[in-house]
Structure 1
């Protein structure tokens, strides 16, 4: 990332977020990380999915839309969907086999087709279930993004994902809905209703690579690890680090680079690792 731009963004963010309440308690309800709990159901409380967290990091607080120059967040959100399904026990990677297939060559297998209660997740799960033979993680990210050259796969595209996620966040009281005029067209935007939820999210991301840094990805919470990788892949991680001091920013970015430089195949082979989660990471940093 370009350091001068990062400095400018951090200074602007410090000015914009100076009035935020940074003393909010960190007692947000934690979700079970058990991969075997396939009965996990969504609720309407302010518990965010991985997709919603990435979108929230990418949204401009007052304007209520993502950067027009960000062409990474679309595929990043599809990666979030696959990981969310994996963490809920709905999908997994096929076994590596004796010849130890690489992460990107292994197929996605539906483990349970039980509904999650989330419309986007259930739509993606339906596509995964109906596909025979199974496809790889990288192929599914392309199919769900509508970026496949195969016309027979275009019907797998998940449409209006950002808008649908924003509406979910409106229902959860995190965002509101407005209309903005951009000279030649009107656009629906979703500014923050308040800064509490996003401030907690940003603080949580910052702490994961600073005061609560584990120095071992296997000991990190799988959701937080996924959020770091997918926020980076979606080009929105800088937004979380922008308010940091220069010294903390350098430390945070070094630790993110350490994560990106890991041997992902080796990490996925360790006990309790979620293969599909690591495969999604590999698809973005291949």
Structure 2
């Protein structure tokens, strides 16, 4: 599968009261923790909290034109990876236990941990598919199935359709984008130009700081959502957009540190304390 091959060529929070409160949340309450982690920017209203999928799409959208690059064939599978990680961070999904003989991340099946609705239509649709599928599928299979990349006609119903358009409409509702029609000679296309540049600049700054000013040289000391964002932005071929404004020396340093993350072994990292195995399984699917 070309979209899941290794993409090595062309490498392309402030601690507020909300985040301090998140530290007091018990380890088992993943959903409450995820909600608090999204409140890391002081003054954010509920409408401007973005999911991983929305953040990756926003990084990929051209500000004025309102659409992603026609040459980007990676973002579709990248967005499906975002969904799996988002559901894992919200306590809905996990990997099956590895048993007596430790299985690799990419052979372990994805298990529904909780079917409580998330309130996000796309996430709930993916969760429903995963919950109802027996026998369970592994991470790489789910990325392919949700993307519609299957030769089995009996599995085409797993495909989540119009994902980019639906995510863009979410961003319109949150006041980040607007909706327009553009004529491309032979056809008209709905586009979603940027209207709230503050939100996008904050997102870009967050990604830049993760590998520059706030670099900790240890993925397990990074916020899991932010770590996932860096990995999935790279897998979706939109990370370059966040680094493009940097000065040359900062750009080179940022790329060097992204390379350090990409060179990590997901199997090793997934065995360390306080980790999310499904997050590393998704990383493995895009980097193995």
- TM-score, normalised on structure 1? 0.88
Which residue in 1 is equivalent to 2:38? none
Which residue in 1 is equivalent to 2:42? none
Aligned match for 2:74, one of 64, 72, 81: 72
Q: Distance in 2 between matches of 1:75 and 1:65?
A: 17
Mapping of residues 1-286 of structure 1, within 5 Å? 1-2=9-10, 32=22, 36-37=28-29, 39-40=31-32, 44-286=46-288
Q: Distance in 2 between matches of 1:28 and 1:243?
A: 31
Shift of 1:196: 0.3
Deviations 1:25-51 (A, max 9, x none): 997965959763355498952000000
Deviations 1:243-286 (A, max 9, x none): 00110011100110110110110100111110000000000011
Shift of 1:98: 2.0
Task: Report the secondary structure of 1:208's partner residue.
Answer: helix
Task: Report the secondary structure of 2:47's partner residue.
Answer: coil
Aligned length: 266
Q: Which runs of 5+ in 2 are unaligned?
A: 1-8, 36-44
Q: Distance in 1 between matches of 2:166 and 2:17?
A: 24
Please tell me the root mean square deviation across aligned C-alpha atoms, in Å: 2.1
Task: Report the secondary structure of 1:114's partner residue.
Answer: coil
Pair 124,80 (structure 1): closer, same or farther in 2 beyond 3 Å:
same
Deviations 1:128-183 (A, max 9, x none): 01100110000000000000112111100000000000000000000000000011
Q: Distance in 1 between matches of 2:97 and 2:235?
A: 26
Pair 186,135 (structure 1): closer, same or farther in 2 beyond 3 Å:
same
- The answer on whether the counterparts of 1:93 and 1:275 sit within 8 Å (CA) in structure 2 is yes
- The answer on whether the counterparts of 1:29 and 1:47 sit within 8 Å (CA) in structure 2 is no
Deviation >2 Å, runs of 4+: 25-44
- TM-score, normalised on structure 2? 0.88
